[in-house]
Amino acid sequence: MPTNTILVVGGNGIIGRNAVSYLHSTGQWNVIVTSSSPLDYETPARYVQLDLLDEQAVAQQAEQLREVTHVIYAAYIEGKTLAAQTQVNLALLRNLVTGLEEVAPGFRHLTFIQGGKAYGAHLGRYKTPALETDPRHFPPNFYYSQEDFLREQSAAKAWSWTAVRPDIVVGFAVGNPMNLANLIAVYASLCKELNVPFRFPGSLQAYHVLVNVTDATVLAQAMEWVATHEECREEIYNVTNGDVFRWSQLWPRFAEYFGVAYAEPITFPLKDYMEDKAELWQQMVQRHGLKPHTLDELAQWPFGDFIFNVEADAFFDVNKLRRAGFHEMHLDSFTSFRNQFEHLKAEKIIP
């Protein structure tokens, strides 16, 4: 029987869901998964409902959480303003940590997710390759507030933390607003249905810049690695597949995979052009026997519009984690996308 119990927070998200699957598969952990709402998938992991906006949420589940030794923290709530976003996400983390300090005597480590926003990726151009030592941008940024809280709260305590910074995460999930694999697959499926070429919808400059992504399984492996290696305590690590690419290199291969004609890019906003496609998607669901997800559940088009119009190189240096001894960042990113497309087909999400 495993001796360590890991709590995955944010279990319905793309990161949490795939972490639960990976950690259970290792046989090395007792896995508990939590979210504020019921899970939208089946898992052998133990589910504990936690609304971390409630300061007493952990105390109310004390018996269920008493054995927790490690935490994977991937919870997130959107805020209407940057200040509100920071306030609510700091509250979630604080309520979890202060609660676990009271109910889980064996609590030893928390791994939490940062990301490209730590480098200012949401603001436009940032220095590349991005290094963990790069200076912060002007606040607020909820990643910074969470990190500062963990540094202060863990001082002289028995537990510690590590931050990991993936870039765009490629993994299986439904209903996640930042799921690029789903978005590409649905867009390609609609192109095939409408008998129009599969074109890159962003700017021509964005088509040729260097980018990287992070496979959800590679990320889960990295989170487990840093959680179990003392030298990773109070450190920050970039995590990607380990390669860089241009959309111009992958887009024709995506078209070939989906069996749809490829054509040169034309810049157009997906958000506007997908507004009238909901009924068409429902017809495809019926005709192909797909699971009854709506178009809005599968793809958040403004996210695609943002990603496909980034006109400066956007990629991370991952050698710090390699030097620490983690050597799984060697995945070809087309393979990562293709694996997710295959999963979507197998689950009858796309034709």
Banded model confidence at residue 212, pLDDT cuts 50, 70, 90:
very high
Q: How far is CA 143 from the centre of its chain?
A: 14
Query: What confidence score (pLDDT) does residue 178 get?
Result: 84
Residues in the chain: 351
Q: How far is CA 263 from the centre of its chain?
A: 30
Task: Reply yes or no on whether the pLDDT at 124 is more than 90.
Answer: no
Query: What confidence score (pLDDT) does residue 299 get?
Result: 96
Task: Reply yes or no on whether the pLDDT at 339 is more than 80.
Answer: yes
Query: What confidence score (pLDDT) does residue 164 get?
Result: 98
What percent of the chain is modeled with pLDDT above 90?
A: 97
Q: pLDDT digit string (tens) for 173-208?
A: 988 878 999 999 999 999 999 999 999 999 999 999
What is the average per-residue pLDDT within 325-339? 98
Q: Which architecture, in CATH terms, is 5-166+216-239?
A: 3-Layer(aba) Sandwich (3.40)
Whole-angstrom distance, CA of residue 159 vs CA of residue 285: 48
What is the average per-residue pLDDT within 234-246? 98
Q: What token pair was written down for 311?
A: 């006109």
Q: Is the peptide bond before 38 cis (omega within 30 degrees of 0)?
A: no
Query: What confidence score (pLDDT) does residue 2 get?
Result: 85
What is the average per-residue pLDDT within 119-126? 94
Whole-angstrom distance, CA of residue 37 vs CA of residue 48: 10
Query: What confidence score (pLDDT) does residue 1 get?
Result: 76
Burial 118-146 (b: 16+ CB within 10 A, else e): bbbbeeeebebbbebebeeeeebbbbbbb
Query: What confidence score (pLDDT) does residue 159 get?
Result: 98
Burial 216-252 (b: 16+ CB within 10 A, else e): bbbbbbbbbbbbbeeebeebbbbbbbbbbbebeebbe
Query: What confidence score (pLDDT) does residue 139 get?
Result: 97
What is the average per-residue pLDDT within 48-70? 97
**Residue whose pair of structure tokens reads 């249905």 in the numeric block:** 193
Domain with CATH 3.40.50.720 in the chain: 5-166+216-239, 170-213+244-315+326-346
**Residue whose pair of structure tokens reads 């046989």 in the numeric block:** 27
What is the average per-residue pLDDT within 135-150? 98
Determine the CATH number of domain 170-213+244-315+326-346: 3.40.50.720
Query: What confidence score (pLDDT) does residue 175 get?
Result: 83
What is the average per-residue pLDDT within 62-90? 97
Task: Reply yes or no on whether the pLDDT at 53 is more than 90.
Answer: yes
Q: 304 Cβ partners below 8 Å, 6+ apart?
A: 180, 183, 184, 187, 201, 270
**What's the mean per-residue pLDDT of the chain?**
97
Query: What confidence score (pLDDT) does residue 201 get?
Result: 98
Query: What confidence score (pLDDT) does residue 176 get?
Result: 83
Contact 70, 111 (CB under 8 A): yes
Closest CA to 324 of 215, 218, 239: 239
Query: What confidence score (pLDDT) does residue 280 get?
Result: 98
74 dihedral zone (left: phi>0; alpha: psi -120 to 50; beta)? alpha
